Amino acid sequence: MDTREFREAGHRIVDHLADYLDRVEDHPLFSAVEPRVLQQLFDEPLPVEGSSIHSVLLELNEKLLPYCTQVNHPGYLGLITPSPTPVGILGDFIASALNQNVGAYSIGPSAVALERRTVRWLTELAGYGPGAGGNLTSGGMMANFVGLKLARDWASKDKAQHEGVRERYAAYTSEERHVAIDKSADAVGIGREGLRILPTDERFELRVDALEAALEDDRKKGIRPMAIIAMGGSTNTGAVDPLPELRKIADRVGAWLHVDAAYGGGMLISQKHPGVLRGLELADSLAIDPHKWFYAPLDAGAILVKDDTRLTRSFGMQPAYLTDLLDKDNERYNYYVHSFEQSRRFRSLKVWMGFKRYGTKEMGSWIDANVDQALRLHQLASEHADFEPAVKPRMSAVCLRYRPAGVDEDRLGKLHATVARRIEEGGRFWISTTSLKGRTWFRINPVNFRTRLEHMDELFQLLTRECPRALTTV
């Protein structure tokens, strides 16, 4: 493909995507196509001969685009995958063209500088001082993994990364944790049994009395506290654990405090709800995902650390083939020395461009609109005799359930799953279900700058129609 063909194809693609974004609400949000049909669509041998770009794009238009879940649609209210900003889309396009490997300074000098500034912005939002640092990751899964590795290395005085885990450690977290915490406990060597999964109160926040009891029980057994892992906006309800109190406990028992704010970090730029994440700056490390509530395209998570030197102590290996002998003054920042990943995408460009194009003021107004939308649903459910909300939203996540008199929990669980599937098949909305304290709930989470309050009214009207209908079939 020469540059003329590239230019023509590029213009055609951008025009097509712009038309798609203009009309996204006119199309079904989700296609009810069966998985086997999709497998058949792409069932072909590896091409030996190439095809024209026109035929390739035509095939994508026929086989891929009609069957995507339209996360740009204002009715997409399910898993936390926001509508990406147009400037973020362009940022990814530019990053792919430049193909800078931010892992090593010599493969992307200006890209490294841009990422370091983007990380600096995020640490400042979190309330960290000038000694803080971090890096962008693929998402909250990797960010939380790095946070637990930092905790393990700190607790073992950096011995575990050389000797392995030789002491009995435990980490303490809420029943509302993300599955990333369980996987990370496994990966850093304390095992999932090394996690103490603690109950929450009526607001789904970690119960401090349960934490204290678990710490005391482990002390008697000779098990050392490695980390307290707090929620800074849980996936289900947006719950925020009592961070200042957890900081005091962590200091007393000698534990690392990590906060999972992968979703909730967006509240840092809210103008209507300041202080929701009070105490976040007290954490030793935190996960925050720009590809969630900062509306950047996938993938762009981040691990932030109060003391930047901890990253170097945990990951500071420099093999001979990557040693820069010309960097006598140690001015060339190599991310592979200070992070887990070596080859790294230029993830920060779309985040940087988002902040530059819109600013925290406009982006914060989108976040506040999403919170207002969750509060509207909470109000509607509170005022209806057959619905109940789980808790008043602090963020944009809202859980509500249909609970007519005389229906047992097993039947209600099937009902909620049935209704969610029917709504999905209707093509106007996409919501999910979850479980809170043994009960099934609809989980609705607007993180979309195209969503409006009237969509909440329309969705609730749909729920009030579909739930009684489903009751007759489950």
Predicted confidence at residue 192, as pLDDT, reads 95
According to the model, what pLDDT value does residue 1 have?
Answer: 84
**Confidence grade of residue 323 (pLDDT, cut at 50, 70, 90):** low
Q: What is the pLDDT of residue 71?
A: 93
In this predicted structure, what is the pLDDT of residue 58? 93
What are the pLDDT digits (tens) for 378-414?
A: 999 999 999 999 999 999 999 999 999 889 999 999 9
Superfamily of domain 3-69: dopa decarboxylase, N-terminal domain (1.20.1340.10)
State whether CATH 3.40.50.300 applies to domain 100-345. Answer: no
pLDDT at position 318 over 80? no
pLDDT band, residue 351 (cuts 50/70/90): very high
- The pLDDT, as a whole number, for residue 265 is 97
Looking at the predicted structure, is the pLDDT value of residue 319 above 70? no
pTM summary value: 0.94
Give the Å distances, CA to CA, from 279 to 230, 247, 257.
Answer: 11, 8, 11
359-471 is classed in which CATH architecture?
Alpha-Beta Complex (3.90)
Burial class (CB in 10 A: 0-12, 13-18, 19+), 333: middle
pLDDT in tens, 444-472: 999 999 999 999 999 999 999 999 999 98
Equal fold, 3-69 vs 100-345: no
**What are the pLDDT digits (tens) for 63-122?**
999 999 999 999 999 889 889 999 999 999 999 999 999 998 889 999 999 999 999 999
Q: Give yes or no for a contact between 257 and 178, defined as CB atoms under 8 angstroms apart.
A: no
For residue 425, give the nearest of 462, 472, 387, 378 by alpha carbon: 462
Higher-scoring residue by pLDDT: 32, 304 = 304
Tell me the three state secondary structure of residue 400: strand
Query: Which residues are CB-neighbours of 185 under 8 A, at least 6 positions away?
Result: 148, 171, 191, 192, 194, 195
Q: Provide the percentage of residues in the chain whose pLDDT is more than 90.
A: 88
Task: Tell me the helices (H) and strands (E) count for the chain, helix number first.
Answer: 15, 11
The ranges assigned to domains in the chain are 3-69, 100-345, 359-471
